[in-house]
Amino acid sequence: MTPLQIVFLLAAAFTLVSALLVVTRPNLVHASLWLIAALAGVAILFVLLEAGFLAAVQVVIYIGAIAILIIFAVMLTRGVMSDAGPGVNRNWWGAALSAVLLFGGIVALLSQVPAAASRLPAPLGDADALLEDLGRSLVDVDRYVLPFEVASVLLLAALIGSIVIARPSAGEEGQK
């Protein structure tokens, strides 16, 4: 085994164990911390695939933004320090079903990829060229410019919506 394989196995095991702990920990803050650990494990996998951009974006968006938001929301929940109630409610079978369906869907999708059938691993592309291609395809009219712009409009709408909700209504505005 090469050192790279050992690192991969360790990272993969770490990701899986953390992901399992996310759903089994009774304490919400601990669960979100394990979520961060799982996301960091995925970032390590990206690094091993020489996808440095995806790894950095994974940390920025998922750990730096989403996980912090989750922890902040949990911290503001009342009595979370002492609360260690049951981790599941009566909808657990629905969650389990959708998780299994999603997993099956992803496996079915990945098995369609031609590289999945071959025994030999596909060689890694040039990281710089791949990154450049990703950037160009996001602004190329023939490729992904429309989804890209639609996503940004959606985010803008969410941004404006949150401001509208957070604004004090006219009555309590006072004399600002």
Partner 1 sequence: MSDPFGQIGEFLLNLLTGWGLEAGLASFILKAAGAAALATGCLFSTFLLIWAERKILARLQDRLGPNRTGPFGVLQTIADFAKLVTKELIFPSGADRPVFLLAPLLVVMSVVGIWAVVPFAPRFIASDINVGVLYVVSIGSIGTLGIMLAGWSSNNKYALLGAFRAVAQLISYEVPMVLVMLIPVMLSGSMGMVQIVEGQRSMWFVVLAPIAFVLFYISSLAENGRAPFDLIEAESEIATGYNVEYSGLMFGMFFVAEFLHAFTIGALATTLFLGGWLGPGVDRYPLLGLVYFFGKAAVIWWSIIWVRMSLPRIRIDHMLAFNWKFLTPLALSVVVITAIADKIGPAGTLGRTLAQLLGNGLILVVVLLVLRAFAAKIRRRPTLTSASTSLGATAR
Q: Give yes or no for a contact between 14 and 37, defined as CB atoms under 8 angstroms apart.
A: yes
**Binding flag, residue 33, partner 1 (CB under 8 A):** yes
Considering only the stretches 13-21, 96-104, 111-119, 168-176, report the one whose residues sit in contact with partner 1 under the rule CB under 8 A.
Answer: 168-176
Among residues 8, 52, 133, 148, which is the contact residue for partner 1, using CB under 8 A? 52
Q: Sign of dihedral through CA atoms 145, 148, 153, 156?
A: negative
CA angle at residue 52 from 129 to 13, to 5 degrees? 135
Number of residues that bind partner 1 (CB under 8 A): 29
Measured in residues, the chain has a length of: 176
Query: In the chain, which ranges are continuous DSSP H helix?
Result: 3-24, 28-48, 52-57, 68-75, 92-112, 114-117, 127-139, 145-166
Among residues 11, 28, 35, 36, which is the contact residue for partner 1, using CB under 8 A? 36
Q: Give yes or no for a contact between 55 and 43, defined as CB atoms under 8 angstroms apart.
A: yes
**Binding flag, residue 38, partner 1 (CB under 8 A):** no
Among residues 17, 29, 31, 48, which is the contact residue for partner 1, using CB under 8 A? 29
Binding site for partner 1 (CB under 8 A): 2-4, 27, 29-30, 33, 36, 52-53, 56-57, 59-60, 63-65, 67-68, 71-72, 75, 81, 127-128, 131, 174-176
